[in-house]
Amino acid sequence: MKKLYLLAACLVAFATTQAQTVNFSDYAAEKYNWNGEEKPATTSYEMDVPYAQINGFRFYNNNEDVCSIAYNKKSVDGTKYFACFKTQGGSKWEDSETPASRVIEVNVAGPCTITGVMASSSKNDDRELYISTAKVDSDYDKEDEAYVGCIDIKAADGAKQYTFDYQGEETTLYLYSRTGGINIYTLSVTSK
């Protein structure tokens, strides 16, 4: 009987802890046959238009404000990466609820943890990764109900792991920079 309860508890824990993860080194190894040992002949590929769907994430792209997968070697906490998703600038929107480019969309079932290895694309300028349920235009819009939170990415820190805890209900979240480029090496969303 105890084994049955243990099995049931494990199944419940597994069912309630769902994760969506993308590691761009793994993605580039599979899609472009890249590896961390040698620099490839082509070091950057534009994302598909109007979006690329990867492991539960939707990466919006258009032909004017492109984002890409780029060869970019980094080591963070002993883990080596050789590819990243580059936003190559701030997000673009068709309207307040329709992303056009440089926006990541993910559906969440409720409270979750968003984790990513990220860096500012600039050596000098910090970035903010906005998390919202619709477009947030300015710091004043942080009072807007669409605003969920923000991850401050310091240029001086280089690539490092960042975490954000979302405490809301089931929804679609958008992750984006309003002003400048962010390099993302891994991204995951884990339900609580």
Which domains does the chain carry?
18-191 (2.60.120)
Q: Is-cis flag, bond preceding 50, omega within 30?
A: yes
Buried b (16+ CB within 10 A) or exposed e, 52-82: bebebbbbbbbeebbbebbbbebebeeeebb
CA-CA distance, 42 to 83, in Å (whole number)? 12
CA-CA distance, 2 to 154, in Å (whole number)? 50
pLDDT for the residue numbered 21: 96
Of 160, 187, 166, nearest in space to 21 by CA? 187
Q: What is the pLDDT along the chain (192 residues), one digit of tens a residue?
A: 444 444 444 433 444 457 899 999 999 999 999 998 999 999 999 999 999 999 999 999 998 999 999 999 999 999 999 999 999 999 999 888 889 999 999 999 999 999 999 999 999 999 999 999 988 876 656 677 889 999 999 999 999 999 999 999 999 999 999 889 999 999 999 999
